[in-house]
């Protein structure tokens, strides 16, 4: 653990990426919740920022979008600043304040209604079953590569009606959008991939525009009045948001599930004896994994928050990963408990107007995965160290080596 921890709260920088790779971030946030739930970090590789680490404070800030902005022009929703050169083509509905946000969100929401989830359920189950049936027996494999990535990428391709034989491009583009290494050290390569994504989706945009309305999300966007008014740059920003949201968050929750079941095999036994816990277990793994580690807001004016003077332009980082383990709400929050009574109270999907529009789909995919694992009585055994990325925005899991017990 870094030497600035435990006894020097004022100097803490909770955003250090390595904390999220080695797991030490959880001790840092426990300290901040106790000693400085609203904490100013004057210097970090991402610039100065306020850390908001308690559940109620995060909810209070997210409930005031007129004061605490998500707009791309103010920096967007991540501690990682948007490159000004990218801001013009990375804006999306998640990086909009009212009233524009509601107008755009209304177009996307019909793709995630209960009736749409029912329509997609059979496809999700069929693909999940085939994926699990193809897993190797008697040898170590990486759950991320064999299960998490293919299931989430296939789902994205179905959601967009993206050309099936090109669907791996969705993973490549998603990784390029979020890669700290590419942002810092391989910007030209990253820009090339983003332009590749832009070119391919522009082609699909023209095709769907000419073909008339269809039930896929891409067509819904193109033929809606709200999104029909957007330019190509905003269209690309929305595609980037949907790709990352649909890929990274569900992928990393599925990977977290595999890790959790190797750490606490007794929880698998609970599920086997009481399958009615499946939906709750899906919520619990989202809480425990916290795939989106934070969201960021920017103060639009000077304000007092809990006795702290927030200045116009200040960056506020809302640490979901901290709130999701707050002791008063989630006792023994470091544990994965499939019967946790309030697992659904996690903040991974956000709060207020920006609550994740695809939350139902993420939950459905996880529930189906657990159900199909139960049907096959798949018991996972650890077979090496779990590898997590050093990333302050997304809880990226690169490797979960397991064997089937």
Q: What is the mean pLDDT of the chain?
A: 92
Question: According to the model, what pLDDT value does residue 227 have?
Answer: 62
- Confidence category of residue 235, pLDDT binned at 50, 70, 90: confident
Question: According to the model, what pLDDT value does residue 4 have?
Answer: 44
Question: According to the model, what pLDDT value does residue 338 have?
Answer: 98
Q: Would you give the DSSP letter of residue 99? A: T
- Confidence category of residue 381, pLDDT binned at 50, 70, 90: very high
Q: Which two tokens stand for residue 154?
A: 């296939």
Residue 27, φ and ψ in degrees, nearest 5: -70, -35
**Distance in angstroms (rounded) separating the CA atoms of residues 166 and 180:** 25
pLDDT in tens, 360-373: 999 999 999 999 99
- Confidence category of residue 20, pLDDT binned at 50, 70, 90: very high
pLDDT at 238 over 90: no
pLDDT in tens, 90-141: 678 888 899 888 877 887 888 888 988 998 999 999 999 999 999 999 999 9
pLDDT in tens, 59-76: 999 999 999 999 988 999
Question: According to the model, what pLDDT value does residue 350 have?
Answer: 95
- Confidence category of residue 5, pLDDT binned at 50, 70, 90: very low
In 264-358, where does DSSP find H-type helix?
265-273, 278-289, 320-323
Question: According to the model, what pLDDT value does residue 215 have?
Answer: 84
pLDDT in tens, 134-186: 999 999 999 999 999 999 999 999 999 999 999 999 999 999 988 989 988 99
Give the pTM.
0.93
Q: What percent of the chain is modeled with pLDDT above 70?
A: 95
pLDDT at 85 over 70: no
pLDDT at 223 over 90: no
Class of residue 385 by CB neighbours under 10 A (exposed 0-12, middle 13-18, buried 19+) = exposed
Strands 315-319 and 380-382: unpaired
Question: According to the model, what pLDDT value does residue 258 have?
Answer: 98
Question: According to the model, what pLDDT value does residue 121 have?
Answer: 93
Q: Is the peptide bond before 99 cis (omega within 30 degrees of 0)?
A: yes
Question: According to the model, what pLDDT value does residue 405 have?
Answer: 83
Q: Bridge-partner residues for 381, per DSSP? A: 403
- Confidence category of residue 87, pLDDT binned at 50, 70, 90: low
Question: According to the model, what pLDDT value does residue 230 have?
Answer: 67
Q: What structural domains and CATH numbers belong to the chain?
A: 9-404 (1.10.630.10)
Question: According to the model, what pLDDT value does residue 17 have?
Answer: 96
């Amino acid at each position: 653990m870094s030497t600035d921890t435990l006894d020097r709260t004022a100097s803490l920088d909770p955003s250090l990426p390595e904390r999220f790779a080695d797991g030490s971030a959880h001790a840092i946030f426990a300290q901040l919740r106790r000693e400085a739930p609203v904490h100013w970090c004057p210097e970090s590789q991402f610039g100065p920022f306020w850390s908001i680490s308690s559940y109620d404070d995060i909810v209070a800030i997210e409930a005031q979008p007129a004061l605490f902005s998500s707009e791309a022009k103010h920096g967007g929703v991540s501690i990682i600043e948007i490159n000004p050169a990218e801001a013009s083509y990375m804006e999306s509905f998640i990086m909009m304040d009212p009233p524009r946000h509601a107008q755009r969100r209304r177009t996307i929401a019909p793709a995630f209604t209960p009736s749409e989830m029912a329509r997609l359920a059979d496809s999700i189950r069929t693909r999940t079953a085939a994926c699990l049936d193809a897993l190797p027996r008697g040898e170590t494999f990486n759950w991320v590569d064999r299960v998490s990535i293919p299931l989430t990428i296939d789902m994205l391709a179905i959601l967009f009606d993206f050309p099936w034989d090109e669907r791996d491009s969705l993973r490549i583009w998603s990784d390029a959008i979020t890669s700290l290494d590419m942002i810092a050290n391989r910007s030209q390569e990253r820009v090339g991939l983003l332009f590749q994504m832009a070119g391919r989706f522009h082609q699909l945009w023209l095709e769907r525009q000419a073909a008339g309305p269809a039930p896929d999300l891409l067509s819904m966007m193109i033929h809606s009045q709200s999104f029909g008014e957007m330019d190509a740059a905003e269209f690309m920003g929305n595609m980037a948001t949907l790709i990352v949201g649909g890929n990274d968050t569900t992928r990393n929750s599925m990977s977290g599930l595999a890790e959790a079941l190797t750490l606490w095999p007794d929880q698998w036994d609970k599920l086997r004896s009481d399958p009615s816990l499946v939906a709750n277990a899906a919520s619990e793994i989202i809480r425990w994994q916290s795939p989106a580690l934070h969201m960021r807001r920017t103060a639009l004016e000077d304000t007092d928050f809990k006795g702290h003077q927030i200045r116009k332009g200040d960056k506020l980082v809302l640490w979901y990963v901290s709130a999701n383990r707050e002791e008063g709400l989630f006792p023994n929050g470091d544990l994965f408990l499939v019967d946790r009574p309030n697992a659904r109270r996690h903040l991974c999907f956000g709060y207020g107007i920006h609550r994740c529009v695809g939350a139902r789909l993420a939950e459905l995919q996880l529930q189906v995965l657990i159900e199909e694992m139960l049907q096959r009585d798949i018991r996972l055994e650890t077979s090496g160290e779990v590898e997590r990325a050093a990333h302050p925005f997304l809880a990226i899991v690169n490797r979960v080596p397991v064997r089937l017990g």
